[in-house]
Amino acid sequence: MRIRRKKWAKEELENSKFYIDNPTQFKGKWNEKFKKLQPLHIEIGCGKGLFISTLASKNKDINYIAVDMIEAMLGLSKRNIEQAYNFENPENLFLIRANAEKILEVFDKKDSINRIYINFCNPWPKKKHNKRRLTHTRQLNLYKQFLCENGEIYFKTDSDELFEVSQEYFSESNFQIISKTYDLHNEPIFGENIITEHEKMFTEQGIKIKALIAKLVI
């Protein structure tokens, strides 16, 4: 998603107690960063943060890390997180700047991440760009290096083509698809489905939401 630069974002992020601009320093130490030792979930490509702010504020017995690399998006995420937490600093959520293609600079096996959320990522339809997909085999093999045993990936998309090929990517990368649907709103597979901004937009356009849960097989 293209988004205009937010002049206020840099200063607000720098002054935020739950934003981390250089997360590589906590690689392998994320569980120590949180006040409580709890299961750790991350969202890769958090966008405006509406999904993760709602999810984390409702589930304070789980720790969360929201990842994006665009300053304007991170700024909007920061504001949405503040609103979800009634303008108190969250104890179970950090917002970080990181590139998904360099995610191993931020996480490793010691972080023992239980779940990854990937919501409505760029489908990169041109063949020369396929490897940039967040569900591509190359990316999945990176995630495997910090997911815990039986770690899961929750994936949602509006793209039929991306959904079909992603199932192949998961299979090639030793992930077992334990649940999937081609119409999430009529065939729920998540215990709680938080509707994202993109999800609402696509649903209003009559596009069915595809989703799956994949578990790492070791």
| Cα–Cα distance measured from residue 89 to residue 95, given in angstroms and rounded to the nearest whole number | 12
* Residue bearing tokens 């789980």: 62
Cβ neighbours for 156, distance < 8 A, ≥ 6 positions apart: 118, 119, 120, 184, 196, 199, 209, 210, 211
CA–CA–CA angle 5, 8, 14 (5° rounding): 110
Residue 216 pairs in a beta bridge with 175
For 101, the token pair is: 């293609």
Sheet holding 19-20, edge to edge: 19-20, 93-97, 63-68, 40-44, 113-119, 147-157, 210-216, 175-181
Alpha-carbon distance 199 to 154, whole Å? 14
pLDDT tens per residue across span 120-158: 999 999 999 999 999 999 999 999 999 999 999 999 999
pTM higher than 0.85: yes
pLDDT at 39: 98
pLDDT for 84-125, tens place per residue?
999 999 999 999 999 999 999 999 999 999 999 999 999 999
pLDDT of residue 2: 64
State the Cα–Cα distance between residues 93 and 80, nearest whole angstrom. 12
Please report the pLDDT score of residue 93 as a whole number: 98
Domains in the chain: ranges and CATH = 9-216 (3.40.50.150)
Cβ density class 105-121: b for 16+ within 10 Å, e for less: ebbeeebbbbbbbbbbb
Alpha carbons 120 and 125: distance in angstroms, whole number: 13
Distance CA 119, CA 29 (A): 26
Mean pLDDT of all residues in 155-174: 97
- Is residue 1 over pLDDT 60? no
